[in-house]
Amino acid sequence: MSPLKITTRDAATGPVLAIFGGLDYDSTGQLRRLIPTVALRPGQRLTLDLGGMEFCDSSGITALIAAYNHAQAAQADMALAAVPERVLRTLRIVGLDQIFPIEPDAGAADPS
């Protein structure tokens, strides 16, 4: 499993965090520390592009929920994009596919 790497960029709809590698107990702190520093305005959308994600355990799921809570506190939305099938299966099992909007790719989450 590759080490966690997170890149950020601004899109017309709001910030996009692209996550590469494994999001697990050992690496989740990196995302959890980054989330509160992401500036969001009401009505924006925080997009987490998971296309490069190799693995996500329960700690990673908790970090995704923390990102969702951060967006909600800012009166913003959050979407997951390019979710790998193995991660999507986990989201479906725990019902989070009903909470997170899931886009086929980061471009779909950013219609600019």
The residues near 52 (Cβ < 8 Å, ≥ 6 apart) are 5, 18, 19, 20, 21
Distance of alpha carbon 100 from alpha carbon 68, whole angstroms:
8
DSSP conformational letter for 15: E
Give the CATH number, domain containing residue 82: 3.30.750.24
| Pairwise CA distance, residues 68 & 74, whole Å | 10
**What residues does 51 pair with on adjacent strands?**
none
Identify the bridge partners of residue 55 per DSSP, sorted by sequence position: 22
How much of the chain, in percent, has pLDDT values that exceed 70? 96
Give residue 70's domain range: 5-109
What does the alpha-carbon distance between residue 105 and residue 66 come to, in Å, rounded to a whole number?
A: 21
Question: What is this structure's pTM?
Answer: 0.91
Instruction: Give the pLDDT confidence of 78-97 residue by residue, as tens digits.
Output: 999 999 999 999 999 999 99
How many structural domains comprise the chain? 1
Say which residues have a Cβ less than 8 Å from residue 67's Cβ, sequence separation at least 6.
Answer: 17, 31, 35, 46, 48, 78
Residue bearing the bigger pLDDT, 109 or 25: 25
